[in-house]
């Protein structure tokens, strides 16, 4: 880079000042000449898509700064300004889809236009010596080299940032793909388990029916016993089919559940009334609590009711003595909580990791059930933009807590397309 020369060179200062003034006066002409050169150059294809002002960009300002440098011979005085404007030029050329070679080519044409202007000045000013002309070209070369370096550095930096962005997107897509593959394997295993469970239940159903028929044939007086056994099997099979159907409906719905405005107190009273008799028949106490600050909500009433019914029924199933708790409580300004607790068997920490899975059960076969109830609850909660927690210890009972919005927005739940991974990996 050029720096101010010795005292022996100072005799050229005034001629350079006159050259700088001439170039500054010709700024518009030189800019126009440079733009026309760029448009004629077959190697700068992207320039044809730009307006005249877009082509000129910061070059007239840079030309002024180069003229200041020629007049003062102090690059330090204007170097920061030249570099800033050159970087801005590189930024906009990146935005305008210029390739690196196109940027370098147009700035080299800018150098040639300035060099030709210096030659023309020397021809018109006979006192402007050959050494002074050479020195002026060297100064302009230094300045244009700075412009090229800063512009190229900016454009390359923009390219690298875009490459980093694309690389990040690709890595995220690869992670998503790997996650989806794991999910698909899990779903495939789940479908196998579902088929096995259904086949197992059907086989049991048919075996019991066959046994009942044989009992009727062998001992007609036992027909009532046989019918009782068959009736129990039919009830169990109906429960399995109903829950499989309910689960398939929940999984297959792709639209946001229809939201309606309803009063929580009315639903609460309905649920308490519906389950109190069943709890008392089993010798359990149903403890209920309603937060008076709760009023109307805008949600899907049927889904909220399904969540509560599944949780209360599940609590009653696994509780042999003690109490079932049911509460609706407001949480802050925009959410509320549905809580169901029991004094039943409790769930071990290991089982808590899988209790919301399909056909998963925290107890043995002595307690009837399909293992789909909590899986249905999980999907229903997700569809309402909610969250679900379980707190439990083996032998100490369980607490299930559902947190839901007071008002379901149109962007919630299933409205936005979700990947399989993001849906099934949603925090539970």
The two three-digit tokens of residue 116, written as one number = 């030709």
Count of CB atoms within 10 A of residue 229's CB?
Answer: 16
Average pLDDT of 408-412?
65
Please give the average per-residue pLDDT across 121-148, as a whole number: 92
Residue 389 near residue 377, CB atoms below 8 Å: no
Whether 174 shows a pLDDT value over 90: the answer reads no
Selected residue with higher pLDDT from 105 and 365:
105
Give the percent of the chain with pLDDT over 90. Answer: 50
Q: Chain-wide mean pLDDT for the chain? A: 81
- pLDDT tens, residue by residue, 44-69: 999 999 999 999 998 999 999 999 99
Looking at residue 264, what is its pLDDT? 96
Question: Is the per-residue pLDDT at 198 higher than 90?
Answer: no
How crowded is residue 268: how many other Cβ atoms within 10 Å of its Cβ?
20
Question: Mean pLDDT, to the nearest integer, of 133-149?
Answer: 93
For 108-132, what is each residue's pLDDT tens digit? 999 999 999 999 999 999 889 999 9
Question: Using an 8 Å Cβ cutoff, are 328 and 402 in contact?
Answer: no
Confidence band of 228 (pLDDT split at 50, 70, 90): low
6-10, 269-273, 399-403: the lowest-pLDDT one: 6-10
DSSP 46: G
Residue percentage of the chain with pLDDT more than 70: 72
Domains of the chain, residue spans: 15-171, 259-410
Q: Is the pLDDT of residue 13 over 70?
A: no
d(CA 359, CA 337): 26
Nearest to 133 by CA among 143, 144, 123: 123
In this structure, whether the domain defined by 15-171 belongs to CATH 1.10.490.10 is answered with yes
The mean pLDDT value for 223-233 works out to 62
The model's pLDDT over 201-214, given as tens digits with 9 standing for 90+, comes to 566 656 666 666 66
User: Which option is the CATH number for 259-410: 3.40.630.40, 3.40.50.1980, 3.40.50.300, 3.30.565.10?
Assistant: 3.30.565.10
Express each pLDDT in 181-194 by its tens digit.
Answer: 887 676 666 665 65
């Amino acid at each position: 880079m050029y720096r101010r020369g010795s005292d022996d060179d100072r005799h050229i200062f005034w001629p350079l000042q006159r050259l700088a003034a001439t170039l500054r006066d010709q700024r518009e002409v030189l800019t126009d000449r440079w733009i026309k050169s760029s448009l004629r150059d077959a190697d700068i294809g992207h320039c044809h898509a730009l307006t005249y002002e877009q082509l000129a960009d910061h070059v007239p300002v840079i030309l002024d700064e180069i003229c200041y440098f020629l007049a003062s011979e102090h690059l330090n005085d204007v170097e920061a300004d030249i570099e800033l404007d050159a970087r801005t030029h590189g930024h906009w050329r990146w935005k305008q889809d210029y390739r690196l070679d196109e940027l370098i080519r147009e700035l080299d044409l800018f150098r040639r236009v300035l060099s030709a202007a210096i030659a023309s000045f020397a021809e018109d000013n006979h006192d402007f010596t050959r050494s002074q002309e050479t020195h002026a070209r060297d100064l302009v070369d230094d300045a244009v080299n700075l412009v090229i370096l800063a512009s190229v550095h900016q454009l390359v930096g923009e390219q690298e940032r875009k490459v980093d962005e694309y690389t990040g997107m690709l890595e995220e897509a690869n992670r998503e793909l790997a996650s989806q593959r794991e999910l698909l394997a899990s779903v495939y295993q789940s479908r196998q388990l579902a088929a096995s469970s259904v086949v197992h239940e059907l086989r049991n159903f048919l075996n019991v029916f066959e046994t009942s028929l044989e009992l009727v044939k062998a001992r007609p007086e036992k027909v009532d016993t046989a019918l009782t056994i068959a009736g129990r099997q039919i009830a169990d099979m109906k429960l399995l089919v109903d829950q499989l159907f309910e689960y398939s409906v929940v999984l297959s719905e792709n639209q946001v559940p229809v939201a309606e405005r309803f009063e929580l107190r009315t639903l609460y009273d309905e649920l308490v009334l519906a389950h109190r008799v069943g709890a008392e028949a089993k010798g359990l106490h149903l403890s209920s609590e309603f937060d008076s600050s709760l009023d109307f909500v805008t949600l899907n009433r049927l889904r909220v009711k399904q969540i509560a019914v599944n949780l209360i029924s599940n609590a009653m199933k696994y509780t042999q003595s003690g109490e079932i708790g049911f509460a609706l409580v407001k949480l802050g300004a925009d959410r509320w909580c549905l809580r169901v607790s029991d004094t039943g068997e409790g769930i071990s920490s290991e089982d808590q990791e899988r209790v919301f899975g399909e056909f998963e059960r925290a107890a043995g076969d002595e307690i009837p059930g399909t293992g789909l109830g909590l899986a249905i609850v999980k999907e229903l909660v997700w569809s309402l933009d909610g969250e679900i927690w379980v707190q439990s210890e083996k032998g100490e009972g369980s607490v299930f807590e559902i947190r839901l919005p007071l008002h379901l927005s149109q962007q919630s739940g299933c409205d936005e397309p979700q990947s399989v991974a993001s849906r099934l990996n949603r925090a539970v």
